[in-house]
Amino acid sequence: MKHVALALGAAAAVVLCGCHGEGAVDSASRTRVEITSSPATPYVGETVTLTVTAHNDDLAIESIAIDYTDDDTLDETQTCDARAISLAFTHVYAAAGTYDVRAEVTDSSGTAASTSTQLQVVIPPPTIPLTLTVEGSSPQGGSCFALGPPITCPDCGVLVGTSAPVPVSVSLGQPYRGTQFNVNQGFNQWPVAFGSLYECTFHATVYAGEPGHGHVWGNGSCSTSSLSRPAQLDCNIGIAGVVQ
C-alpha cells in the first residue's frame, strides 16, 4: 500500500477539510484519534485515501495501524514519533458494501487508543463526465489560441495564453465507461505579436469524474513558433483511450 506521513509540531492542531470521518478520545492514553476518507463515498475499484490523525498532549505517538474491514486484523502499520501526526493509507475495495474501518494508535508508553468509522462503498454509475481544459503560454508575451472544436466553433479561435496561461474548459459529455473515446484540439498563433516573433506552448488535459471523484484521464502538449524557419504556426493535441 502507498502511504504518506506528515508530522506536525507538538502544539499543532490537525485540520482536515472536505472529508468524512469521526473521532474519539481514549481515557487511558489521552490520545485523540480521527479517521477521514477521500472520496467520502468511494466507488468499487477506486483508490480511497484513509487519513488517520492523532494527537496526544503528553506523549509521542509511535505507531498507527489500520484495519480496512474491522475483521480484527490490522492490515497496515506505519511508525512515527510525534505528539501530533497525520498518516495517509490507501486502499481499493473490490465489492460494494458498508465497511467498518478501524484505526489503532499506540503512544510511547505502549498504551493503545482506537476509533472506527463506517465507509460506504458503492458501484460507480455507468457513465462518467469528461471535461477538457486547455491553456497556452508564450515567454515573449505573444497571443496563443485554441482553434476549433471542441473548445470553440469550427474556424473560431479563443485566447488561451500570453505570457501567462488563460485556461479554458468545455464539457465533453458523459460517455459510457469501458468505451473508446478520442478528442483532438487544434491550436495556433499569429506570425507576429506587437511586431515581434514569438513561440507558444500548449497543454490539454481531460478530467474524468463526478464531484469528489475527479482524476486526470489524459493529457498532452504541443508547441508553435514564428522564431523557427520555416515558421510553425499550428499544432494539434490528440488524447485517446478507454473511459474508466
Could you say which architecture CATH assigns to the domain 3-121?
A: Sandwich (2.60)
**Left if phi > 0, otherwise alpha if psi is -120 to 50, otherwise beta: which for 230?**
beta
Q: Would you say 120 and 144 are in contact if contact means Cβ atoms under 8 Å apart?
A: no
Which of these ranges, 20-24, 102-106, 135-139, 238-242, has the smallest mean pLDDT? Answer: 20-24
- Enter the pTM of the model: 0.76
pLDDT of residue 24: 53
Q: Where in the chain is the domain with CATH 2.60.40.10?
A: 3-121
Distances (CA, A) of 114 to 25, 50, 63, 74: 8, 15, 12, 12
pLDDT, position 195? 83
Q: What pLDDT, in 10s, does the model give residues 130-182?
A: 999 999 999 999 999 999 999 999 999 999 999 999 999 999 999 999 999 99
Q: Tens digits of per-residue pLDDT, 67-87? A: 999 999 999 999 999 999 999
According to the model, what pLDDT value does residue 193 have?
81
Residue-wise DSSP of 42-92: PBTT-EEEEEEEEEESSS-EEEEEEESS-SS---EEEEEEESEEEEEEEEE
C-alpha separations of 222 from 137, 171, 191 in Å: 11, 21, 17
- The predicted pLDDT at position 244 comes to 85
Of 15-19, 22-26, 51-55, give the range with the top mean pLDDT. Answer: 51-55
